[in-house]
Amino acid sequence: MANNNQASLLLQKQLKDLCKNPVDGFSAGLLDESNVFQWSVSIMGPPDTLYEGGFFNAIMTFPDNYPNQPPTVQFTSEMWHPNVYSDGKVCISILHPPGDDPNGYELASERWTAVQTVESIVLSIISMLSGPNDESPANVDAAKEWRDNRAEFRKKVSRCVRKSQEML
C-alpha cells in the first residue's frame, strides 16, 4: 500500500506542476477526479508535421508502482502512425519497462527510468508524431505505407486530423 500511496502523491504533484506551468502542445488532467492513476491527455498535432491542426486525445494509465514502471498511453482519437498500434496504444522506448530489451532493439538507457514525468512522456509522443520510427513499428501497415506510399499515408493522417477537429 505504501507504494501505491507514493505513486499517488507523485502523480498529484506532477498534475499540480502541469496546471501551474502548462506545456505548449498538450494539456493533461484526471480522467475521473477520484482516480489519480488515469489521466486524460490532449495532444495538439505538432506544427510542420502531417499531424498539424489535429487534437488527439489519449488516456495515460499509471501502474501502482509508478515511477518504477511506466504508464501505458492509448489514443482514443483515431491515429495512423507507425508507432501506434491499431488499438491506439503508443509504442515508444521510454514507455517500455526498465532494463535491457529482451529483443535487443533498445538500449537500457532508451527505456523507462523513474526520472520520467508526464511531461517528458508527452513530449516524447509529440516527438514521435514529428518523426516516426519505422525500424521497429507497432503498426506494420502504417510503417510500410510511410516508407513506400507517402501520399496514401498523408491522406490517412489528414483524415485522422479532420476527425479529431470534428470531435472538439
Q: What is the pLDDT of residues 153-168, one digit of tens each?
A: 999 999 999 999 997 7
pLDDT of residue 104: 77
pLDDT of residue 165: 95
Rounded Cα–Cα distance for residues 11 and 164 (Å): 27
For a pLDDT cut of 70, what percent of the chain falls above it?
98
Rounded Cα–Cα distance for residues 55 and 44 (Å): 5
Average of per-residue pLDDT across 64-77: 96
Q: Is the distance from CB of 72 to CB of 60 less than 8 angstroms?
A: yes
CATH for 2-166 (3.30.930.10, 3.10.110.10, 3.40.50.2300, 3.40.50.10440): 3.10.110.10
**Domain-by-domain residue ranges, the chain?**
2-166
Evaluate if residue 21 carries a pLDDT over 60. yes
Q: Is the distance from CB of 58 to CB of 73 less than 8 angstroms?
A: yes
- 69 pLDDT band (50/70/90 cuts)? very high
91 is an active site residue: yes
Q: Which of 58, 73, 91, 122 is catalytic?
A: 91
pLDDT of residue 80: 98
Evaluate if residue 2 carries a pLDDT over 60. no
